Amino acid sequence: MTQDELKKAVGWAALEYVRPGTIVGVGTGSTAAHFIDALGSIKHQIEGAVSSSDASTAKLQSLGITVFDPNEVDSLDIYVDGADEINRQMQMIKGGGAALTREKIIAAIARQFICIVDASKQVDILGKFPLPVEVIPMARAYVARELVKLGGLPEYRQHVVTDNGNVILDVHNLKIIDAIDLENKINSISGVVTVGLFARRAADVALVGTANGVVKVVK
């Protein structure tokens, strides 16, 4: 199976977690796009969705799914999204698609985070995938210097402006042993909006696409 077929398999498998009549938290990226297609097939059974990016909002609306502002929603049953890396503790690196801040907000609102990934995203130690950090534009150089002090090699993601009007620094050279500690440290740098480490709020369930089918991992 191709990587995209594995992504499709987990995107559709996540439908199992969608309860009728609810508002569903929806992520961003090529795996989440498969989930949105799947959601479209049951759109009359759900109330709607909360979306983590303009791109996902456009896709949801094109399928006739109502998109709610997170401020209109008290709580969400589930948030379904992909990841760039996931470890055994279900901690993740996210933000390859630059949507990390809205993803983190919706993950915080949701009772359950369902992570949908192909098996290539599973790692023992997070950090091979460059860690995305969303930064207020005027703080870019300062934040980059602070990230170097933490042992990283930050790289400005050229020509990318997030949905929130900010920039992304991708941090290379990290071997993340204590992900919660690093998440706290990077989040406390002035000018950082969000770091793409999802350790304090890890996934609850991972659906992993493998050559032998979808494997469910529970925290």
The number of CA neighbours under 13 Å toward the Cβ of 192 is 22
Report in angstroms how near the CB of residue 198 gets to ligand 5RP at its nearest.
9
Residue 47 designated active-site: no
Instruction: Report the alpha-carbon angle 44-78-188, nearest 5.
Output: 140
Binding site for ligand 5RP (CB under 6 A): 27-32, 81-84, 94-100, 103
Q: Which residues pair with 162 in a beta bridge?
A: none
Choosing from 85, 103, 134, 146, which is the catalytic residue? 103
**How is residue 137 annotated by DSSP?**
G
Residue with smaller CB distance to ligand 5RP, 30 or 184:
30
- Compute φ and ψ for 69, nearest 5 degrees: -70, 135
Of 57, 65, 9, the closest CA to residue 34 belongs to 9
Report in angstroms how near the CB of residue 111 gets to ligand 5RP at its nearest.
19
Residue with smaller CB distance to ligand 5RP, 45 or 89:
89
Residue with smaller CB distance to ligand 5RP, 34 or 152:
34
Report in angstroms how near the CB of residue 15 gets to ligand 5RP at its nearest.
17
Instruction: Report the alpha-carbon angle 73-79-84, nearest 5.
Output: 140
Report in angstroms how near the CB of residue 86 gets to ligand 5RP at its nearest.
10
The terminus-to-terminus CA distance of the chain in angstroms comes to 27
Instruction: Report the alpha-carbon distance of residue 29 to residue 3 in Å, rounded.
Output: 14
Residue with smaller CB distance to ligand 5RP, 29 or 152:
29
Q: Which residues are catalytic?
A: 103
